[in-house]
Amino acid sequence: MTDLVRRILVTSALPYANGHIHLGHLVEYIQTDIFVRFQKLRGHQALYLCADDTHGTAIMIRARAEGRGERELIAAMREAHLADFGGFQIDFDHYGSTDSEANRTHCGEIWQSLRNRGLVTTRDVQQLYDTTAGVFLADRFVRGTCPRCQTADQYGDSCEQCGAAYTPADLVDPVSTLSGTRPEVRSAEHLFVTLEQMHGFLNDWTQRSGALDPRIANYLAGHFLGEPLRDWDISRPAPYFGFEIPDAPGHYWYVWFDAPIGYLAATSEWCAAHGDSFDAWWRRDGAAPTAEIHHFIGKDITYFHTLFWPAMLEAAGLALPKRVHVHGFLTVNGQKMSKSRGTFLLARTYLDHLDPGMLRYYYAAKLSGGIDDLDLNLEEFAAKGNADLVGKVVNLASRTARWLEQTGLAAQYPDDGGLFATAAADGAAIAEAYEACDFARAMRTIMQAADRANAYVDAEQPWKLAKAGPESAAKLQEVASVSLNLFRQIAVYLAPVLPVFAVQAGELVGGPITSWNESQRPLTGQPVGTFRSLMRRIEPAQIEALLADSLKLSGTPPTHPTPSSQPGTKGTTSMEQHAAPSDSGEPLAAEPLAPECTIDDFTKIDLRVARVVAAEEVPEAKKLLRLTISLGGDATRTVFAGIKGFHTPESLVGRLVVVVANLAPRQMKFGLSEGMVAAASGAGATGVYLLSPDSGALPGMRLH
């Protein structure tokens, strides 16, 4: 089959050491792992490399908050990450860390290349300096009074009250959160990469190299490459958890500089451990690179991997990616993962309740290599795993292995009507789909083989042969041998997706699966082990337990067993639901109750009756109406309310509404909004319903 042994270096994006792995992360790691396992099964030399992304301000702040050093924090998170990945059978060839000596070395080399090519420039940036702590202060480390609305205790970059944006130097009475002293304005030098000098190269690489999906290339052309590329600020002054820049003491490489270089460092570390050569993977010798480089990333970090990173590699004379595989985000039951809905699913929580193979298969069945978001519909997840893996695939072995325990496989492969040969021929198409990361297509083709195999068993009725007695024994052995061979063939095809299942299938019959080629020849005469459960069905209770645990972890009590809340489709309108005699549970299910609050919490919010005295369209606004409301007497407020399209200005004037009267003013594009009008709304834009007090209520009355 395959002609040459390819050398394929594959990476997933480095997970940040500031949080745990969740099912969204796993879309990427499972996808990458399947790709790598497939390549290895085909006989290619593939390396799956990854690392923890450990540097940056967030880590530093978190470590301080936890009262421990950064390295202690990242070591603990590394353990947790590795345990999660292991649980999902993600098989890295090497898992490094951006906080390694190898990475420091590679950062230095790339840096020197940028210097040599004249791509580094410096520019002064005005920053506040803490004379007591002796450090420049990032925006987050400064608080002070807003220069615009005079609100105290605001961060250095923007005001939470009026929304004004400014620099820390603009703050009135600034205070350093590190020392509590008043910082002074100093000018600090930052280092920049003048990306514009690489513009021609980036145009060419993004549009013509074939490394990118056309949609991604188009996005880059439209958003960035159509105008001069801005300089990239790649240094941060101390305090910063990271690597100090060797020729610029006091400056540290920004985390997004050293993170992708972690791919190089991981390669070096793996090579050191295996006696291989880094240069053979990354160095460009003449026109033809010796290895293929594949990056798998989420669409949120496209910019870094398709502009900065190739520019860095190009400047350093290193090999460019053959392909950057960009995938979408994970949604759960059609919506973003949500802690309050209990659908923020951590890897660990999943593993407490369900089989990782089921998720690997589900993702495989939904991934087609595009950048579309992937929806984890929990009902479909259970149905698909149960029907395909348990009902079709495992069932093949489960229903026939027992008849071969004594005799083993038939000595000669029987006439199966061409079933094995057909599925063997399908191998080329399945491999092609794997290669293109269209795993969904591969799974469909494999399941068709399973369908044909089950139909065969049904037609041959081996259970009748078993009852018929000794004269049917040979025929029984033949039928069961066909069935088990088809089963093993499918196990080979599924091995990249379900490695544990593949091992167990091999234990049952035929030994370890080591090569894709094993799908091409039936086995004969081999012993058959005792069938034992290979994969268990997903029970609804397990999914409920998963969701309940996820809710607990987010600190929200489970309000009720989560029904399968299909997002409302166009069939029923809100109006119809109003008329229904019994109310649907859908709105509550769509937005479960918030965590319990105390009466003190509630009294912080001053809700008042108010009268709309004026209402007008804001022509340029899509959702907003400008309301003038009266709290009685001459106390009036201007409020922008997002109710355009649901209410006309004329219908509002004169009516009573409920407002949040002590809400901090908010600067909006069309003016300052001085409160919020209370309204009910469901998930999605199903409607907005203003609250009205009973008649007799007067403006200014408070809600108790």
**Residues binding RNA (CB under 7 A):** 215, 218-219, 222-223, 334, 336, 366, 368, 372-373, 375, 377, 380, 383-384, 386-387, 390-392, 394-395, 398-400, 402, 440-441, 444, 447, 451, 454-455, 457-459, 461-464, 466, 533-537, 566, 569, 618, 620-624, 639-642, 663, 666, 668-670, 673, 675-676, 684-685
253 or 256: whose CB is closer to RNA? 256
DSSP string covering 251-280: EEE-HHHHHHHHHHHHHHHHHHHHT--HHH
142 or 457: whose CB is closer to RNA? 457
222 or 249: whose CB is closer to RNA? 222
Closest approach, Cβ 382 to RNA, in A, equals: 9
Closest listed residue to residue 311, CA positions, set 252, 226, 232, 235: 232
Give the distance from CA 562 to its chain's centroid.
Answer: 23
Closest approach, Cβ 631 to RNA, in A, equals: 15
> Which residue is it, tokens 């080979």?
492
49 or 677: whose CB is closer to RNA? 677
3-state secondary structure of 355: coil
Closest approach, Cβ 640 to RNA, in A, equals: 4
> Which residue is it, tokens 């600020």?
233
Closest approach, Cβ 218 to RNA, in A, equals: 6
Closest approach, Cβ 202 to RNA, in A, equals: 18
Closest listed residue to residue 362, CA positions, set 377, 372, 343: 377
Closest approach, Cβ 621 to RNA, in A, equals: 3
Closest approach, Cβ 347 to RNA, in A, equals: 22
Tokens encoding 185:
């304005």
3-state secondary structure of 115: helix
> What amino acid is encoded at 501 in this protein?
F
451 or 583: whose CB is closer to RNA? 451
CB contact burial 449-465 (16+ within 10 A = b; e otherwise): bbebbbebbeebebeeb
CA distances from 443 to 355, 428, 447, 448, 454 (A): 18, 13, 6, 9, 16
* Alpha-helical segments (H) within 209-341: 214-223, 255-274, 278-282, 302-303, 309-316
Beta strands in 304-369 (DSSP E): 323-327, 330-332, 335-336
Closest approach, Cβ 378 to RNA, in A, equals: 12
Closest approach, Cβ 387 to RNA, in A, equals: 4
The C-alpha atoms of residue 431 and residue 311 are separated, in whole angstroms, by 33
Strands across the sheet containing 330-332? 335-336, 330-332, 374-376
The C-alpha atoms of residue 641 and residue 690 are separated, in whole angstroms, by 11
400 or 489: whose CB is closer to RNA? 400
201 or 646: whose CB is closer to RNA? 646
181 or 218: whose CB is closer to RNA? 218
The C-alpha atoms of residue 297 and residue 309 are separated, in whole angstroms, by 13
165 or 273: whose CB is closer to RNA? 165
Give the distance from CA 444 to its chain's centroid.
Answer: 24
Closest approach, Cβ 538 to RNA, in A, equals: 9
Closest approach, Cβ 694 to RNA, in A, equals: 25
Q: CA torsion, points 165, 170, 171, 174, in degrees to nearest 10?
A: 130
CB contact burial 218-234 (16+ within 10 A = b; e otherwise): ebbeeebbeeebebbeb
Tokens encoding 430:
């399945």
What's the burial of 428, exposed, middle or buried (CB within 10 Å: 0-12/13-18/19+)? Answer: exposed
264 or 419: whose CB is closer to RNA? 419
104 or 608: whose CB is closer to RNA? 608
> Which residue is it, tokens 């090497």?
94
89 or 98: whose CB is closer to RNA? 89
- Tell me 125's DSSP state: E
Which helix (DSSP H) or strand (DSSP E) does residue 48 occupy?
A: strand 45-52
Asked whether 528 and 428 are in contact (CB, 8 A), the reply is no
280 or 371: whose CB is closer to RNA? 371
Closest listed residue to residue 537, CA positions, set 415, 656, 398: 398
444 or 655: whose CB is closer to RNA? 444
Tokens encoding 138:
């990032």
Closest approach, Cβ 356 to RNA, in A, equals: 15
CA distances from 278 to 9, 270, 522, 528 (A): 11, 9, 40, 45
Closest approach, Cβ 279 to RNA, in A, equals: 38
State the Cα angle at 516 between 514 and 522, rounded to 5°: 90
The C-alpha atoms of residue 343 and residue 381 are separated, in whole angstroms, by 14
Closest approach, Cβ 105 to RNA, in A, equals: 35
Question: What number of residues does the chain have?
Answer: 704
230 or 336: whose CB is closer to RNA? 336
Closest approach, Cβ 677 to RNA, in A, equals: 8
CA distances from 338 to 270, 332, 342, 547, 687 (A): 38, 8, 6, 11, 22
Closest approach, Cβ 535 to RNA, in A, equals: 5
Closest listed residue to residue 592, CA positions, set 557, 618, 626: 557
Closest approach, Cβ 1 to RNA, in A, equals: 21
50 or 364: whose CB is closer to RNA? 364
Q: What Rg value do the Cα atoms of the chain yield, rounded?
A: 31
63 or 652: whose CB is closer to RNA? 652
Backbone angles phi, psi at 690, to 5 degrees: -70, 145
